[in-house]
Structure 1
Amino acid sequence: MITDLVQARGIRYATSSRFAPPSPVAWDGVRGSTRGPACPQPPSALVAVVGNSVAGLEFSEHCQVLSVTAPAGADGLPVMVWFHGGAYLTGSGESVKYETTLLASEGVVVVSVSYRLGVFGYLRDNLGLQDQFVALRWVRDNIASFGGDPSNVTIFGQSAGADSVYALMLTDTESLFHRAIMQSAPLGTRSPERPSMTAALQAAVEVDATTPIEDVLAAQAAAMASVGPQFAPSGGMPFAPVVEGDLGAAASRVELLIGHTADDGSPYVPSREHWEAVTELIFAAGARAFAADFEAAGGEVATYLFKWAPEGAPLGSCHCMELPFLFDPESWLGAGMLAGAKPDPDLSRTIRTTWASFAREGLTALPSRTLEFGE
């Protein structure tokens, strides 16, 4: 394992006015040491499960920043670009919960991206998705300065971050990345109703460029409460990119690893009977279907199931349970889902090694096209 690392935090890759497309910012070569801001947001609905992912961060609409962690002296290493989850409403790539030192120690360059959320990013024009594309162009143009190979880029994300990976795969026309990992993507919230729901949200949210941030967030909450229930299950994640893409084109150029946790649905419903149904409806069925469609379109794909759960954990192997194994486990200690336990270190190494090996060599590096982690 590599222990000598270089980190650069809070690098601005774009700027914009409210509700305007992002304008790329040329990198000046300065490697900052301060974590950048998070998009203004409400408290996470999963704070009791995972803890506060934005603790210690400032909030700003100018949240288009990224951070890089790389082995010192790197040259031509594979690049992994992380898109955080949070239902497109909460979270930040700058979060300490996504500390990437252990993953980068596997011999990869890791980039964590922050982007606009909620009304700021997804009320209209897929602005958050536009932010993500600008960040990927920044990686293409600048990552060699950190020893990364711009011709070997893997994008990966969890929950809404995995949904972002889905949207990026279907709409990338520049070959900005070459592999993709989708962790617990809520593909069950994607339906033909999504464009209609987005239009209803646009009608319900009456804000402009001068509306105070707290009033924007209040209008966002009110619109979600009134519009979301009309469009189940899509209403469970009302703000998200509306995309139409070419699956065949994506399958021809991207290798895919896709999976979920065994009990992804447990934080969202009160009983085991219901959480099994939600896991299937929102996460598992969509992962299976997308993997099958991707393969039918000519793509190469592997699937995984993450099953580890601490003894006595009330939510089983719930949504987000794999994250402490991929990132720094110390920042996750005390999270409700762990029930006082610590992530198994051997399994942690296995997860990080598997992800990094896939980024390095693709599906040929995996022991199987069907993977299971934990008991």
Structure 2
Amino acid sequence: MTRQLQRIFVLALALAIVGGNAASGLAAQAADEVADGQWFHNYLHTTEAHRTTDGTGVLVAVLDTGVAHHPDIDASMVPGFDITGVGSPDGRTDTDGHGTSMAGLIAANGRVHGIAPGAKVMSVRVQESGEGGLTGRGSLEAGIRWAVEHHASVISISLGGEFTITVRNALVMAAEADVVVVAAAGNTPEAGQVEYPASQPGVIAVGGVDRNGNHSKISVNGKELVIAAPSDDISSTYLAGKWGHGSGTSNSTAIVAGAAALIRSKYPDMSATEVIHRLTATATDKGPKGRDDQYGYGVINLVAALTANVPPLTPSAAPSAAAPSTPPTTNAEAPADKPLNLGILLAGLAGLLVLVALIAGAVVIAGRRS
């Protein structure tokens, strides 16, 4: 996959090397761009959503390029792991900036804010760079397994690459462990298909929308697309304690991962399948009615996902639907009762009459002889 954040501008607010009014003007411009890039909070009504929950009690694993130290997210981080073996063992090395941005969209709480600021984030560094897809040192499969084994309840994957059976098996393991997995659909619409692992059944494949809630020009379309979320012109945490600004379905993915964390915080006993159902059932429908290849089931609606009365995907068995005390069987197990054969009945009666006649005849003969 090409870089999910298609453009990044480092927004340094401390411009000590620039003097006078020029420094003030540049600082103000940078500050405005950081604030402006947080537009998705108003769009998603996150302040209202946080009146219900802020994601407390949920652990989100970010499988990416690592997460650098940053004042906006350090309080939200717990030790992770570096699969590449070339950075800090706890996953807190990031030389690219991509993973740091994703962590900020999930749980930052400072100059920029995440969707679930009360959640904890665990960095699982599966590769060194966000360029060129899943390449180089590291392993997505190993990262998924490590995250599951270390009790993440949501896994966010803003990367994509080629299908491999090992990654597939790791995703199956995550599903069996009741983990919600969210992945980016991709930023190459010309490819005409959702990238892997977003295309894996059971994974939430996330597409992007712009500031108006319309399909983003950079977002991939496809039959596997599940839901859409803000992707364009978004600011988040970046390297060296600074902030970055960019576009891509990576952003959408981190936002949906944060939403899944909110749901898991509000409904701690809800299964991963039901979390996904709640996200899709409450999404704001866009495009053709129902699911479509641009928006999936619609654009994420945070407040509705947390508060709406959503019937369960598989209703609990009601008393009237309970299994009978003696389950029905097939003919192979226990043949059904057959109607009485009339021919056999008549033959039996005839035999009985003959027997009676013989006995009667014997009695008459015996009487004559006497």
TM-score by length of 1: 0.35
Which structure has greater strand proportion? 1
Q: Which has the higher contact order (CA 8 A, sep 6+)?
A: 2
TM-score by length of 2: 0.35
Task: Specify the structure having the higher radius of gyration (Cα).
Answer: 2
